């Protein structure tokens, strides 16, 4: 795993994940859109098409595989989404 591409929140979630193949983590995957491989993204249940930020639910093993890709610049844990105006 290339830890330089993993944000602190995701690193913590990976440490707490237990079995690397079981738990799925909601992530933002920052990519070089011109070089991203849609088949790798699709295999890992990450949006295969789009701009520079893709979303998905990825296992810890999947995060490891993503960070090894030269076209992935950062993988970030996604927080829960809230509607605007909700406190």
Q: How far apart are CA 87 and CA 71, in angstroms?
A: 37
Per-residue pLDDT of the chain (87 residues; tens, 9 = 90+): 999 999 999 999 998 876 666 689 999 999 999 999 999 999 999 999 999 999 999 999 999 999 999 999 999 999 866 666 655
- Residue 57's DSSP bridge partners are 26
Q: How far apart are CA 15 and CA 43, in angstroms?
A: 23
Nearest Cα residue to 30 out of 1, 6, 60, 58: 6
Q: How far apart are CA 24 and CA 1, in angstroms?
A: 17
> What is the model's pLDDT at position 49?
92
Contacts of 48 (CB under 8 A, 6+ apart): 38, 39, 41, 42, 54
Domains along the sequence of the chain with CATH: 3-77 (3.30.70)
């Amino acid at each position: 795993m290339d830890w330089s591409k993993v944000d602190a929140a995701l690193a913590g979630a990976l440490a707490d994940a237990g079995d690397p193949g079981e738990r799925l983590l909601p992530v933002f995957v920052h990519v070089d859109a011109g070089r991203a491989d849609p088949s790798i993204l699709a295999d890992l249940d990450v949006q295969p098409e789009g701009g520079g930020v893709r979303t998905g639910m990825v296992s810890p093993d999947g995060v490891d595989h993503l960070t090894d890709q030269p076209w992935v610049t950062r993988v970030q844990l996604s927080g829960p989404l809230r509607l605007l105006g909700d406190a």
